[in-house]
Amino acid sequence: MNLFGKPLDYGVRKGKVGYLEVSLSITQKDGYEIEIEIENTTEDPKFMGDFKIGDFEVSEKILMNNYQSWGPCTFVKPSEIIKSMHGLSANFFASPVPWEFKDGVISDYFMADDKTFAGFLSSKVTHPYFKWHDGIVDVKIYVGKHLKPHEKIKIETLWVKDFSKLEETLELYAKKVASSNTIKKSGPLFGWESWYSYYLNISQDSIIDELNRTSEIGMKYEVFQLDDGYEKDIGDWLETNEKFPEGLEFLSKKIKKSNMMAGIWTAPFSISETSSIFKYHKDFLVKDENGIPIVAYENWNKKIYALDTSNPDARFWLGEIFSALKGYGYEFFKIDFLFTGMISGKRFLDVTPVEAYRMGMEKIADAVGNTHVLGCGAPLLSSIGYVDSMRIGCDTAPEWKGELDMGMPSAKFSIRNALTRNFMNAWWVNDPDCVMARSSETNLTNSERMINIYIPALLNGQLLESDFLGKLSDDDLHLLRGSFNFRNGTSKVLLSDKERYAVVTKKAINGDIVSFVNLSDFEWKVEIERYRPFFDKKTDEFFVLYPSMKHAKNEIKIDPHAVAIIMHRGKRNLRRDDEKEDDGRDIHYYWGEEYDGTSTQSHNR
């Protein structure tokens, strides 16, 4: 890497970018840590947009990361995808610096090739990113506000490391980011939410029907969450539409009486063109230089504008919304489309988009207090400390899909991001989006359903289910319950390539496990013995395939769109108990020498 034209080395380095003086303090800490300070050297206020501090050459393939929840984190060949990225140049959904896509490919916060990793440790003031063009990567930072005469600000720290094992470097990066930010310590939750069953057709009657079915099917959900479809409009969060005649407090009390946390969805920084808040408070919105509100995105067949969270009146309104929802009894808040709060534009205060975003997140955090906040569609690094859990992939779907990898709904890419961003579990609880156990009203194969359900369990992420509970068959429920035995462990994801992954899970309920996830369209042959060193030494250790419970041979074949789950066992005498179900299924329970309250279950017809 070159910084201001000179090779990376420790010490102090300064460079001029127009009127801006940039000071770099470089130390060696498991690589190089580069602290950055900028100063307006003139006698006048100056607007600072983006600037470059260095560049480096990369190999043909890179690991790129998009800044927000839905965007991809995957291996790409930038030279092959650059043309497809050009259409994103006016899209805040894709980037807070969308103009950069006109002639390059952007990786936000961090990137790696086959030998070098570079990543920023925070995004509290500015938005740091890497821009690939013509085989070169520019290291860039977007500020987005005026600097006063001779004003100095310290911004994000950059970490650079040459590596031999990318997975270990990602884990080290996660620890460094965690130590540079305040982390909320929370555990994963199991719950139900309405979106992937009802979508916008949810009603008060239908959600109460689903609530009543939870006891009928014997599921012990911790959270029961109402998603989009209840509100009068996007921005009018406390006013329900005609499908919810008794309001939000009535529903919260119903859920709490069933001994579950009441959850609710909002998009707090999004304001619809038809909402009352838009009609009466255009002063609450981010504007262009001519004072016209900026369209952040379009959805719900409407134009959606961005709340200016630097405006104290807008923040007061925001706090009142969430204080009211908490007062109604809601304890789980899914806050969505959060990238809207970080678009570029003119605000009430002359702060950076990142600073404005964090002011809004701070207000929500103060209002909801000690409850669970799930971020979604969110700028990742800028959200650390404000969310308990974070969506780390695109919306899932009841079909595989795998064509457009830029945040569109896809079961495949949702799970892919859960794997590539697994290391982010150090910052929050990863939420890979909902699991769907249903075998009806889905285009997923049985193998794809198993990936959708078991990978979130093996990664010990958030486990929110979204099904019509009354339509689940006994087999569907057994499939879902079977995944519970694989939770509570710690996992390492080995990045074989962009479509094949090995997951090593230790100390889950069912012990130590290695899983092979084949997202590709081709068969994958794997030698299991290569993965034995990842486990602690056990006496007479061996591998067992799940759910058949048969000994695994050294070489196995994983079908396309399938997962192979293999449990690592030491010397163990298993007792098998058999049960015959009324529908003809044979259920086999395998118990260890000492019963510890868990079992390995195999369900066969």
- Distance from C-alpha of 586 to C-alpha of 298, rounded to nearest angstrom: 51
Q: Is-contact 476 450, C-beta < 8 A?
A: no
- What pLDDT is stored for residue 598 in this prediction? 37
Assigned token pair, 25: 């303090």
What are the residue numbers of the active site? 336, 395
Determine phi and psi for 342, rounding to 5 degrees: -120, 20
What kind of architecture, by CATH, is found in domain 2-179?
Sandwich (2.60)
- What pLDDT is stored for residue 266 in this prediction? 98
250 pLDDT band (50/70/90 cuts)? Answer: very high
The proportion of the chain whose per-residue pLDDT surpasses 70, expressed as a percent, equals 94
Q: What is the DSSP string of 345-403?
A: SB-SS---HHHHHHHHHHHHHHHH-SSEEEE-S-BHHHHTTT-SEEE-S----SS---S
Side-chain-side CA neighbours of 425 within 13 Å: the count stands at 23
The domain ranges of the chain are 2-179, 190-266+316-489, 494-604
- What pLDDT is stored for residue 91 in this prediction? 81
| Higher-confidence position of 146 and 185 | 146
Instruction: Please give the average per-residue pLDDT across 243-268, as a whole number.
Output: 98
DSSP 8-state code for residue 521: S
For the chain, how many helices (H) and strands (E)? 12, 38
Coil/strand/helix, residue 483: helix
pLDDT at 539 over 70: no
Q: Tens of pLDDT along 486-524?
A: 999 999 999 978 899 999 999 999 889 999 999 999 999
Q: Tens of pLDDT along 71-115?
A: 999 999 998 888 778 777 668 888 999 999 888 999 999 999 999
Four-CA torsion 132, 133, 138, 140, nearest 10 degrees: -70
Helices 312-328 and 353-368 sit at what angle, rounded to 10 degrees?
Answer: 30
Which CATH number among 3.30.300.280, 3.40.50.2300, 3.40.50.150, 3.20.20.70 corresponds to the domain 190-266+316-489?
A: 3.20.20.70
Instruction: Please give the average per-residue pLDDT across 228-256, as a whole number.
Output: 98
Q: Tens of pLDDT along 339-359?
A: 999 999 999 999 999 999 999
Instruction: Please give the average per-residue pLDDT across 275-300, as a whole number.
Output: 97
415 pLDDT band (50/70/90 cuts)? Answer: very high
- Tell me the CA end-to-end span of the chain in Å, nearest whole number: 59
Q: Tens of pLDDT along 30-65?
A: 999 999 999 999 999 999 999 999 999 999 999 999
CATH class of 494-604: mainly beta
Equal fold, 190-266+316-489 vs 494-604 = no
Tokens 């600037």 locate to: 51
Among 438-447, 514-523, 563-572, which stretch is predicted with the lowest mean pLDDT? 563-572
pLDDT at 310 over 60: yes
Greatest mean pLDDT range, 263-277, 535-549, 556-570:
263-277
